[in-house]
Amino acid sequence: SGADTDISDVIVPMSTVLTHPSIKMSGAAVETIVVAGNMDRAIGYIKATGGAITITGSGRLRLYVEGETSISGTATMHITPSPAGAPLAVEIYANGDVLLNSCVNQTGNAANLGIFGTKNCKVVKYTGASHFTGFMYVPYAAYDFSGQGDFLGAVVSGTIDVTGTGDFHYDEALTKKSMPFLLGYRILNWEEI
């Protein structure tokens, strides 16, 4: 239609004063965050080239990352409710670029994993073979989805580039979640290459 769209900025709903150390890991290291009720954490950065970051428990975790969030190489991130079937929701507020090759949301519900990018989040990449189940609101970022894994959820970004053999599926269940930034948007142009 040629009309400009006013996309809302991400408002970080918590203190951005760093409360926990940055996460830097490689090899077979394991970093576990146990969620009990509603929790807020603010850290400097995530740089994982190996090992596993596990977010487990029951409740809601809001995680603010001041710098880059990078999970690359053989590193993985798992969101695992404990006990099984318990409600667990994770919101990641990224003030830097986000580079993910494996992020497994074992709740199976896209509404339980949200990645929000501030104006400083300019690049978001999801690569690799694992499936992503969640939503991303990264309005200032160039989003690159490549690899073999499927995407189930929704994305609002500056641009989107989908390559590789993975499929992209919009999760209609997200319409039941109160996410005003996802309402009123529709695909205006689609080009299969």
pLDDT tens by residue, 115-132: 999 999 999 999 988 899
pLDDT at 89 over 50: yes
Residue 59: domain span: 23-167
Question: Does residue 117 fall inside a structural domain?
Answer: yes
Task: Scan for tokens 């109160």, then name that residue.
Answer: 178
DSSP 97-112: -EEES-EEETT--GGG
Question: Does residue 16 fall inside a structural domain?
Answer: no
Contacts of 183 (CB under 8 A, 6+ apart): none
pLDDT at 1 over 60: no
Q: pLDDT tens across 134-169, in order?
A: 999 999 999 999 988 899 999 989 999 988 888 888
Q: Which pLDDT score is estimated for 5?
A: 60
Confidence of residue 76 (pLDDT cuts 50, 70, 90): very high
SS3 176: helix
Confidence of residue 2 (pLDDT cuts 50, 70, 90): very low
Question: Does residue 81 fall inside a structural domain?
Answer: yes
Please report, to the nearest 10 degrees, the dihedral formed by the alpha carbons of residues 35, 132, 73, 52 taken in order: 20
Question: Does residue 172 fall inside a structural domain?
Answer: no
Question: Does residue 51 fall inside a structural domain?
Answer: yes
pTM passes above 0.75: yes
Q: What would you report as the CA-atom Rg of the chain, rounded to the nearest whole angstrom?
A: 16
Q: pLDDT tens across 22-66, in order?
A: 999 999 999 999 999 999 999 999 999 999 999 999 999 999 999
Question: Does residue 186 fall inside a structural domain?
Answer: no
Q: Where are the beta strands (DSSP E) in the chain?
A: 23-25, 30-43, 46-48, 52-65, 69-71, 76-81, 88-94, 98-100, 103-105, 113-117, 123-126, 132-145, 151-162, 168-170
Question: Does residue 3 fall inside a structural domain?
Answer: no
Please report, to the nearest 10 degrees, the dihedral formed by the alpha carbons of residues 167, 181, 143, 163 taken in order: 20
Question: Does residue 9 fall inside a structural domain?
Answer: no
The structural domain count of the chain equals 1
